[in-house]
Amino acid sequence: QDLEFRSLLANLPENMKVVPPSTSKTGGGVLELQKHLAIDNDKDLDKLKLGGTDKIFIHSRAAGKHGADPLVLHIGSAQASFTLDLAKLNPGKVADAVAEVLENPKIGKIGYDIKSDMKLLKSLGIQLQNVAHDVLVGAFLLNSLMRAQSLTDLAEANLRYEGPAFEDLPTEDFMERGGQFIAVIRELYESQFHALSEAPKLVKLAREIEWPLTPVLADMESRGIKLDVKYLKKFARKLEDSISDLEQTIYGHADHEFNISSPGQLADVLFVKLNLPTQGVKRGKTSFSTAASELDKLRGLHPIIDLISQYREVTKLKNTYVDTLPEMVDENSRLHTTFNLTIAPTGRLSSADPNLQNIPVRTELGRNIRTAFVADSGNVLVSADYSQFEIRIAAALSGDKGMLEAFNRDADIHVETAALIYGIKPAAVTKDQRYSAKAVNFGIMYGLGPHGLSVSSGMDYGASKDFIDKYFQIRPSLKKYIELLRSQAEKQGYVETLLGRRRPTPDVRSSNFVVREAAYRAAINHPMQGTAADLMKLAMIEVAKKLPDDAHILLQIHDSLLIEAPTKKAKKVGKILKDTMEKVYKLPVKLKVDISTGKNWGEL
DNA sequence: CGCTATGGCCAC
DNA sequence: AAACGTGGCCATAGCG
Ligand SMILES: [Mg+2]
């Protein structure tokens, strides 16, 4: 009915369903629909004609995750579009019909979330070449604060589309509206092409980073990483025993059973039943906080505190990782994450379902989970970590002489910072002094203030203020740089990374102090976190090009890459990684990458 | 039962 | 009221 002759179509044989060019009324806007043909039997595949074009538009749907069990492929040029019923068509014949176009590096591919299309095509044995534009990523580059990201959201916001949603459609409707999908993607592309013409840095960022990164991420997600499920199940039983013991001891101290995982019930036990002091303990909306930072203030007052901390650590590991990850492996015991490109305004990737960017490493107990991530037989895992990545970038962006000099002679930046602040020689810096300096080196990049430092360090407010003042005395360029960012956020309305990735800063003009200051801190952090993210992406593209065919990037964790490679090639791969990553971009600061190799991730 | 808010905590 | 940035996910609790 959108096209006004649905009933006519319904009475035609499938292969006669040719819809002529038309316009589709969609409320305020009008979609320019091209001639469209649905193909659901192999002999009609020869009707698929996309020749004589340098761009094609695609969109697809699969029943399974990561492109498994493909259902539909919409594919179109500026003149005509086609819908392939992949459930009915022979996969080999589909591949024969479309590979010439999809694998042709001279024909640019344009879509919405092309990474998903690429994974579907991979499952058909098709390696899509030449990502020319992704309207999801394009919209995000133009406004990285954009949260409404569905195709319908984009069409409504940019094309004045007011028709029915494109999401949550029965497959039948998804197929029937192929012409509309292609038309919306084409019109969003045209709209973004125009908008980007006024932001040449974003065009370059897209062309040199986001588009070439897309196939790299699709490969990483499709390949997955092997999990030793047996090992984790054994670890689960250990944790279970530990949890039972902790529970019984905690109930003993409380004199009754309660749900330790309920912050409300726990607060009741601590502050009412056991009468522990609430002075200096943070208040939440509902009750006194029982967060780890608050339990620290009560440690030593009662043996139950330490038990609760242990209970939290063990149940966190068991519920979030040990019990969950084995449920998510494929038939080859491999885990497939999804790397999202359009969540973090700084340009970082995020990882979800499962999140493989937050696998524990800090505690001995937690590191057991990393041990369960293993190389396939005959292979090893190779990790490559940028050392002090964001702080080095802070030095480069601010041009701070002291920091640049320290990094360029490979000094320990936290020791150097402590020595300057305390006015002593680096060799005389104590562990505590280094620890304080480290907290500030990191904190400054997040817009840390005296209050925050006092809360996290235990120093009083005055001492914290002195410490930060001294810090800026020894890093004057960094202070100036932060002031510049605050001013840019306010006067220009956005801040940007070295490569021009923008973050709009509307909230620095908020009348609410909390909202306004939070916006300034995000603005300060953006160029450092974002430049690191940009350079890591660039490194991934280069690494993927240079690795031998039997070595593969599996994961990216912001400043590190995890690679799976044949044991025999581990050394060679390590060299490629270190060399490529350290030289990724010409900066006034040296970049340093540490390489490590092992059979599992816990060894690295 | 699914959705949302809250408190909490894992990573960089 | 909060005071340190970027994420994702867990259990609990309340609601319709
Ligand atoms: Mg590191």
Structural domain contains residue A203? no
Q: Is the CB of A259 under 7 A from strand C?
A: yes
Tell me: do A273 and A305 sit in the same domain. Answer: yes
Cα angle, residue A489 at apex, residues A486 and A493 outer, rounded to 5°: 165
A591: domain CATH number is 3.30.70.370
Tell me: do A357 and A295 sit in the same domain. Answer: no
**Ligand 1 mean position, distance from CA A385 (Å):** 5
Q: Tell how strand A334-335 and strand A80-85 pair up.
A: unpaired
Q: Which of residues 9-38 of A touch strand C (CB under 7 A)?
A: none
pLDDT of residue A285: 86
Cα angle, residue A522 at apex, residues A517 and A524 outer, rounded to 5°: 95
ipTM of this complex = 0.94
Token duo for residue A171: 């497959």
The whole-number Å distance from A329's CA to C10's C1' is 19
pLDDT band at A6 (very low <50, low <70, confident <90, very high): very low
Residues A197-209, mean pLDDT to the nearest whole number:
97
Give residue A410's Cα distance to chain centre. 30
Q: Determine if residue A177 is left, alpha or beta; phi over 0 gives left, psi from -120 to 50 gives alpha, anything else beta.
A: alpha
Tell me: do A180 and A130 sit in the same domain. Answer: yes
Is pLDDT above 90 for A9? no
Q: Which of residues 292-311 of A touch strand C (CB under 7 A)?
A: none
Radius of gyration from C-alpha coordinates of chain A: 28
Alpha-helix residue ranges (DSSP H) falling in A493-550: 513-546
Give the predicted TM-score (pTM) of the model.
0.96
Tell me: do A373 and A408 sit in the same domain. Answer: no
Q: Read off φ and ψ for residue A258, nearest 5 degrees.
A: -155, 170
Q: How many domains does chain A have?
A: 4
Q: Read off φ and ψ for residue A51, nearest 5 degrees.
A: -60, 165
Residues A289-296, mean pLDDT to the nearest whole number:
94
A509: domain CATH number is 1.10.150.20
- Cβ atoms of A366 and A317 within 8 Å: the answer is yes
A35: domain CATH number is 3.30.420.10
pLDDT of residue A20: 73
pLDDT of residue A458: 81
Which nucleotides in chain C lie closer than 7 A to a protein CB?
1-13
The whole-number Å distance from A369's CA to C10's C1' is 17
CA distance A430 to A426: 9
More confident residue, A270 or A32: A270
**Ligand 1 mean position, distance from CA A264 (Å):** 37
**Ligand 1 mean position, distance from CA A555 (Å):** 14
**Domain boundary residue, one of A533, A552, A587:** A533
Tell me: do A38 and A58 sit in the same domain. Answer: yes
What confidence tens digit (pLDDT) does each residue in A82-99 have? Answer: 999 999 999 999 999 999
Tell me: do A90 and A183 sit in the same domain. Answer: yes
CA distance A95 to A126: 6
Structural domain contains residue A416? yes
pLDDT of residue A81: 95
Tell me: do A30 and A144 sit in the same domain. Answer: yes
pLDDT of residue A1: 26
Range of the domain at A548: 337-389+535-603
Q: Is the CB of A515 under 7 A from strand C?
A: no
What confidence tens digit (pLDDT) does each residue in A494-522 have? Answer: 999 999 999 999 999 999 999 999 999 99
Residues 6+ apart with CB under 8 A from A56: A50, A75, A76, A77, A101, A102, A107, A108, A109, A110
Task: Please report, for residues A12, A118, A192, A247, A571, the alpha-carbon distance to residue A223 in angstroms, rounded to integers and kept in the order given.
Answer: 42, 13, 32, 40, 22
Q: Which of residues 125-164 of A touch strand C (CB under 7 A)?
A: none
pLDDT band at A28 (very low <50, low <70, confident <90, very high): low
pLDDT of residue A218: 97
**Domain boundary residue, one of A198, A215, A240:** A198
Structural domain contains residue A206? no
Structural domain contains residue A222? no
Tell me: do A439 and A507 sit in the same domain. Answer: yes
Tell me: do A527 and A563 sit in the same domain. Answer: no
Tell me: do A122 and A235 sit in the same domain. Answer: no
Work out the percent of chain A whose per-residue pLDDT is above 90.
90
Give the count of beta carbons closer than 10 Å to the beta carbon of residue A237.
Answer: 10
Structural domain contains residue A412? yes
The torsion angle over the Cα atoms of residues A267, A273, A276 and A279, rounded to 10 degrees, is 60
Token duo for residue A128: 């899509």
Cis ω on the peptide bond leading into residue A354 (within 30° of 0)?
yes
What confidence tens digit (pLDDT) does each residue in A236-253 have? Answer: 999 999 999 999 999 999
Which nucleotides in chain B lie closer than 7 A to a protein CB?
6-12
Residue with smallest Cα–C1' gap to C2: A514
Q: Which nucleotide is nearest to A291 (CA to C1')?
A: B8
Q: Is the CB of A147 under 7 A from strand B?
A: no
Q: Is the CB of A264 under 7 A from strand C?
A: yes
Burial (CB < 10 A; 0-12, 13-18, 19+), residue A268, is: middle
Task: Please report, for residues A15, A62, A71, A165, A387, the alpha-carbon distance to residue A170 in angstroms, rounded to integers and kept in the order given.
Answer: 21, 12, 11, 12, 49
Task: Please report, for residues A16, A177, A404, the alpha-carbon distance to residue A79 in angstroms, rounded to integers and kept in the order given.
Answer: 18, 17, 55
Residue with smallest Cα–C1' gap to C6: A344
Structural domain contains residue A422? yes
Tell me: do A414 and A504 sit in the same domain. Answer: yes
pLDDT of residue A25: 63
Q: Is the CB of A487 under 7 A from strand B?
A: no
DSSP per position, A216-242 = HHHHHHHH-EEE-HHHHHHHHHHHHHH
What confidence tens digit (pLDDT) does each residue in A144-198 have? Answer: 999 999 999 999 999 999 999 999 999 999 999 999 999 999 999 999 999 999 9
Tell me: do A487 and A420 sit in the same domain. Answer: yes
> Using CA of residue A433, residue A437, residue A440, residue A442, what is the dihedral sign?
negative
Token duo for residue A285: 């909306």
CA distance A544 to A224: 15
**Ligand 1 mean position, distance from CA A61 (Å):** 38
A411: closest CA among A441, A436, A388, A443? A388
Residues A451-469, mean pLDDT to the nearest whole number:
89
**Ligand 1 mean position, distance from CA A559 (Å):** 6
